[in-house]
Amino acid sequence: MTLTPERARGLLEERRAILSGHFELTSGRHSDIYVQKARLLEYPETAMEFAGEIASWYPDVEVVVAPAVGAISLGFAVALAAGARAIFAERTDGRMELRRGFALEPGERALLVEDIVTTGGSAREVHELIRSAGAEVAGVAALVDRTTTPLDIPLRAVVRVEAVSWEPAACPLCARGVPFDTPGSRLLRGSALSSEASSNEGAAGVRPWPG
């Protein structure tokens, strides 16, 4: 079964992982889209559907490498779908490393799996880690591509989300008088919302909006 970008996007919106509305980001800019990064993989059945799609793009993968923490569950799911091993890299003293006995063999065919790519910083580091181990990079796959500039790694994503934002004075939603939304307003308020947003590379941070 093929998972089209439209169906994937629809699933993420249905699961409230991608929200449409009017949001004020922690940067002060306004946006019409908010990605709740942690919720991308909240439903295992949906995650497996994404994983099966990603696995179908890359034949003969032997090991899936995911940057911790966000991509660990997707990496595991892709490895399950691909019949590959699942390992993850984690940041120690500022550097991405394989720890816990995880290792790559020279010549091994490795797929890098990331949940959401914005700047591509972590993905680029893990890409280099795989190459420096002498393994072959089968590709770089993500669930969501939010990049704003082209990357120097071969990224392929299930869903592309344009990261459009505006200065408040130029915001077309403000101009139309559209009220602000807060993501998961019943569940995420105050400090819970702030900590979720700040720990989140991919999601645009959202400040709670009074009223």
Binding residues for Zn ion (CB under 5 A): 30, 171, 173-174
Q: Closest approach of Cβ 173 to Zn ion, in Å?
A: 4
Nearer to Zn ion by C-beta: 106 or 177? Answer: 177
Angle at 38 between CA 33 and CA 39, to 5 degrees: 70
Nearer to Zn ion by C-beta: 111 or 173? Answer: 173
The whole-angstrom distance between residue 46's C-alpha and the CA centroid of its chain comes to 15
Q: Closest approach of Cβ 162 to Zn ion, in Å?
A: 17
Q: Closest approach of Cβ 12 to Zn ion, in Å?
A: 23
76: phi then psi, degrees, rounded to nearest 5: -60, -45
Nearer to Zn ion by C-beta: 51 or 171? Answer: 171
158: phi then psi, degrees, rounded to nearest 5: -70, -40
Nearer to Zn ion by C-beta: 1 or 169? Answer: 169
Q: Closest approach of Cβ 171 to Zn ion, in Å?
A: 3
Nearer to Zn ion by C-beta: 96 or 171? Answer: 171
Q: Closest approach of Cβ 80 to Zn ion, in Å?
A: 42
CA distance linking residue 109 with residue 20, whole number of Å: 38
Q: Are 105 and 189 in contact (CB under 8 A)?
A: no
For Zn ion, the nearest residue by Cβ is 171
CA distance linking residue 27 with residue 163, whole number of Å: 13
Q: Using the 8-state DSSP alphabet, how is residue 180 labeled?
A: P
